[in-house]
Amino acid sequence: MMERTVTSWQDARELFKKWRDENERRSEEVLELWISALGPNVSKLGDEKWMVLEQVATAALDLHNMPLADDTLLELKGRFPKSERVKLLQVCRLQALNRHDEALKGLDNMIARDPTNSAAYKRKISILKGQGRMVEAIKELADYLTKFMSDQEGWSELCDLYLGEGDYAKAVFCAEELILHTPHNFFVHQRLADIRYTMGGLDNLKLAVAYYSQAYTLNNASLRALCGLFLASSNLCSNPRLPAADKKELTKVVGWTAKEISKRYSGSSLLEEAKQVDMLENVFGNLQIQA
């Protein structure tokens, strides 16, 4: 849906610039405005024309409008024959046409020319994931993160990939990296706690309790952290290897968390209570301890 009425090509130009500045793709709106307003007046844009053409090419590829994508890519390639950004768009065209092997070869060439080309790495990983080649995707993403260690989204994605493969130890490493980058983000503590809880065993459960506790400290509105703390503490209390002193303290935690969870229901309407029950069932269902 268009965010404001466009009455002239100048209005369209301003919207295109706004979307570029805010890194919004808005593919449907871009093509609509290009066809109705900006395309017929593209000669009036000066050098801004090339940025607009890049937006249009990206939008056309998103919506599989290959004739328009080909036309804009031809213009961009003619003006910038050595541009890596244009080459990446050409790779995206190959991907849109399901010519994945050619696309991957093009990306390998781009990375060989410039090992710091993060966009090429990300596109390659995306293609490999799309083809179900998870082992290769993991290898490429791990290699990428040796060069771009501060990429939090990369660490989060690698964590997900390892979890999908059942490699919990490596998923833990990725989650710990995320905590180093964002120590005050409750979600990353909660995520690491989930993994430790799933791994099971005395040491992992102790760590799960610690991370759930920290997650709840950072965000006491998190029902998942509260339920996780209850479950991890309860399971830890039933472990015969747990020292009596630790069990005594954890029993208090179990009692306290049970009361806190119960409070979430007091005074709730039937509809709110039903929603909370569904949420609680999802939390308990997702947290399955390993034997």
Q: HSE on the CB side for 159, CA within 13 Å?
A: 20
Give the span between the Cα atoms of 197 and 188, in whole angstroms.
Answer: 14
pLDDT at 272: 55
pLDDT at 267: 55
Which distant-in-sequence residues (6+ apart) come within 8 Å of 103 by Cβ?
Answer: 91, 92, 94, 95, 123, 127
Q: Where does a domain end: 109, 126, 147?
A: 109
Q: Is residue 281 part of a domain?
A: yes
Pair (210, 258) in one structural domain:
yes
Query: How many other C-beta atoms can be found within 10 angstroms of the C-beta atom of residue 204?
Result: 21
Q: Where does a domain end: 183, 217, 242?
A: 183
Q: Domain total for the chain? A: 3
Pair (253, 285) in one structural domain:
yes
Q: Is residue 122 part of a domain?
A: no
Pair (222, 276) in one structural domain:
yes
Q: Is residue 17 part of a domain?
A: no
244-263 and 223-237 helices, crossing angle to 10°: 150
Q: Where does a domain end: 109, 142, 159?
A: 109
Q: Is residue 192 part of a domain?
A: no
pLDDT at 229: 95
Q: Is residue 245 part of a domain?
A: yes
Pair (99, 147) in one structural domain:
no
pLDDT at 93: 96
Give the span between the Cα atoms of 254 and 232, in whole angstroms.
Answer: 9
Pair (209, 284) in one structural domain:
yes
Q: Residues 77, 98, 32, 89: is their CA dihedral positive or negative?
A: negative
pLDDT at 264: 79
Buried b (16+ CB within 10 A) or exposed e, 70-104: eebbebbeeeeeeeeebbbbbbbbbbbeeeeeebb
Query: Where would I find the H helices in 8-150?
Result: 9-21, 27-33, 48-62, 66-79, 84-96, 100-113, 118-130, 134-147
Pair (246, 289) in one structural domain:
yes
Pair (226, 283) in one structural domain:
yes
pLDDT at 289: 47
Pair (158, 239) in one structural domain:
no
Q: Low-confidence residues of the chain, pLDDT below 70? A: 1-4, 267-291
Q: Which helix (H) or strand (E) holds 215?
A: helix 202-218
Domain around 151: 134-183
Q: Is residue 74 part of a domain?
A: yes
Q: Is residue 15 part of a domain?
A: no
Give the span between the Cα atoms of 227 and 277, in whole angstroms.
Answer: 12
In degrees rounded to 5, what are phi and psi of residue 78? -65, -35
Do the beta carbons of residue 48 and residue 27 sit within 8 Å? Answer: no
71 is written with which tokens?
């036309």
Pair (268, 218) in one structural domain:
yes
Q: Is residue 20 part of a domain?
A: no
In degrees rounded to 5, what are phi and psi of residue 268? -80, 150
What radius of gyration, in Å, describes the C-alpha atoms of the chain? 25
